[in-house]
Amino acid sequence: MGSLTFIRHNAHRVDVDDHAMLMHVPTTSLFEMDEVSRAVYELFRRAGSADAAMLRRELGGRFAPQALTDCLQSLISLDILRDTDAPETPIRVQKVEDIPLSTIILNVNTGCNLACTYCYKEDLTTPAKGEKMDFATARAAIDLLIAQAASRDRVNVVFFGGEPLTNMPLIRQAVDYAEARAAEAGKTVDFSLTTNATLLTEEIADWLDAHRFGLTVSMDGPRAMHDRNRRTVGGRGTYDVVAVKVRMLLARYRSRPVGARVTLTAGVTDVLAIHDHLINDLGFAEVGFGPATSGPIAVFNLQPDMLKSVFEDMKTLGRRYVDAAIRGENIGFSNMHQLLTDIAQGMKKAVPCGAGLGLLAVDKDGELHLCHRFVGSSQPTYGNVTTGIDVPKLAAFVEGAQDRSGFGCKTCRIRSICAGGCYHESYARQGDPFAPVYHYCDLLRDWVDFGIEAYTRIMQANPSFFRRHLTPRRAA
């Protein structure tokens, strides 16, 4: 054999207890290294390249020739080792010729009865000034979804705002129409809705339950933390109202688990206390945390030291998650669910999410946006529900998003999980949806390493946890 070179950006080792785990970066696949592969990996990591003579000299006295050959061939097949003279593998951009939608997000009202200080929505206004989507637009959006999802058995209609419950008549009409259209097309339709819960009634809760909505409630924890940012237009805190509505909802909602979505801001960072309150005091099935770092009012954004502290608290909660998982229990921490799902599935992301490919958002005028976060922004739209998707324009965006090598993503060890990060986060913070979320990079790399440790420990102690808790959740 000739000389082989170690392709550092395609391999990442994480030691977990007495297990040496190798992550194949391009696919996020995990392998446990045996004694031979550990020795070969460490030799190449240290030396960078090696030929047959060096391998015999360094490792020939410890391992049989065939064992070394087999190990080398495995690492070559994974492009972790490569002929020294071989050219660099170019980034393969997948051509986009169609937009196979699975999800449409209907922004049913720009009006909201709250005035949360950190809200990113650029078109948000008060209820009196809210601009509501009409049924003709919603109907055309659903027709577009059904047509673009020709190869899919299941589609999802998401209702968003503003506060979506301020346009409940449209939601009822759209659900009736979507169910009928999906049945005609031989598809199953799911519905999702994110709400601040203030307008919930028993009748609305029961109707949502009857149509099996996936519900998420925006709530930021105990009263003091929640009321810091989540206030009415008149400036009053909303915790007392929301807590009553949530308890009513959770007491009668049976079709699907209900989750809470927490926005972490300056002054609202106690991850452990928030999780404990929302799970144990109020009874949510799970809680997910979203750190605010690029909101329109800088004083509410988490600064680097706050962000680092938040991630440390999330790892503390993650350790509790692992301990519970080993016991066969699920403590309902959405961020860990997602991280472990990505690792368990062996993600190979070319783009960070389904925005613009499997998912589009619709504004009140029927304009098509990459996702709900871009509605009301200065970013371009990609067609209209009446005229259809501007496929060439949208394809150019998605194809451009696949190659962020100019930003340094090409050699990042979590590129197949992160893929550059949220388009809107990059747009809001840096003015460019393709610019990576640099303020997250080191923290996200550490978070993925933590996920590998968590995955390995759960797999060693209680592998059935993944079948019982992650797979059913993903299917739902």
pLDDT band at 138, cuts 50/70/90?
Answer: very high
The predicted pLDDT at position 211 comes to 98
φ, ψ of residue 270 in degrees (nearest 5): -80, 80
Is the per-residue pLDDT at 472 higher than 80? no
pLDDT band at 129, cuts 50/70/90?
Answer: confident
Q: Using CA atoms, how far apart are residues 325 and 279, in angstroms rounded to an integer?
A: 16
274 and 225 Cβ atoms separated by less than 8 Å: yes
152 and 118 Cβ atoms separated by less than 8 Å: no
The predicted pLDDT at position 299 comes to 59
Look at strands 103-109 and 11-16 and give their pairing: unpaired
242 and 116 Cβ atoms separated by less than 8 Å: no
The predicted pLDDT at position 375 comes to 93
Instruction: Count the residues in the chain.
Output: 476
Alpha carbon 344 to chain centroid, angstroms: 15
Cβ neighbours for 308, distance < 8 A, ≥ 6 positions apart: 443
The predicted pLDDT at position 474 comes to 46
The predicted pLDDT at position 475 comes to 43
pLDDT band at 357, cuts 50/70/90?
Answer: very high
CATH 3.40.50.10470 fits 103-362, yes or no: no
pLDDT band at 40, cuts 50/70/90?
Answer: very high
Q: Using CA atoms, how far apart are residues 140 and 106, in angstroms rounded to an integer?
A: 11
- Name the nearest CA neighbour of 117 among 259, 303, 292: 292
Region 218-230: mean pLDDT is 96
pLDDT band at 242, cuts 50/70/90?
Answer: very high
DSSP string, 157-195: EEEEES-GGGGHHHHHHHHHHHHHHHHHHT-EEEEEEEE
Per-residue pLDDT tens for 299-339?
A: 568 888 999 999 999 999 999 999 999 999 999 999 999 99
Tokens 């590129």 belong to which residue?
A: 415
pLDDT band at 91, cuts 50/70/90?
Answer: confident
Domain residue ranges of the chain, discontinuous segments joined by +:
4-83, 103-362
The predicted pLDDT at position 476 comes to 40
Q: Using CA atoms, how far apart are residues 321 and 343, in angstroms rounded to an integer?
A: 16
DSSP 99: -
Per-residue pLDDT tens for 149-175?
A: 999 999 999 999 889 999 999 999 999
DSSP 263: E
Q: At what angle do helices 334-345 and 441-461 cross, to 10 degrees?
A: 80
Mean pLDDT value across the chain? 93
Sign of the Cα torsion 290, 401, 95, 342 reads negative
Q: Using CA atoms, how far apart are residues 341 and 320, in angstroms rounded to an integer?
A: 17
Region 387-398: mean pLDDT is 97
Model confidence pTM above 0.85: yes
The predicted pLDDT at position 315 comes to 98
338 and 444 Cβ atoms separated by less than 8 Å: no
Region 258-266: mean pLDDT is 95
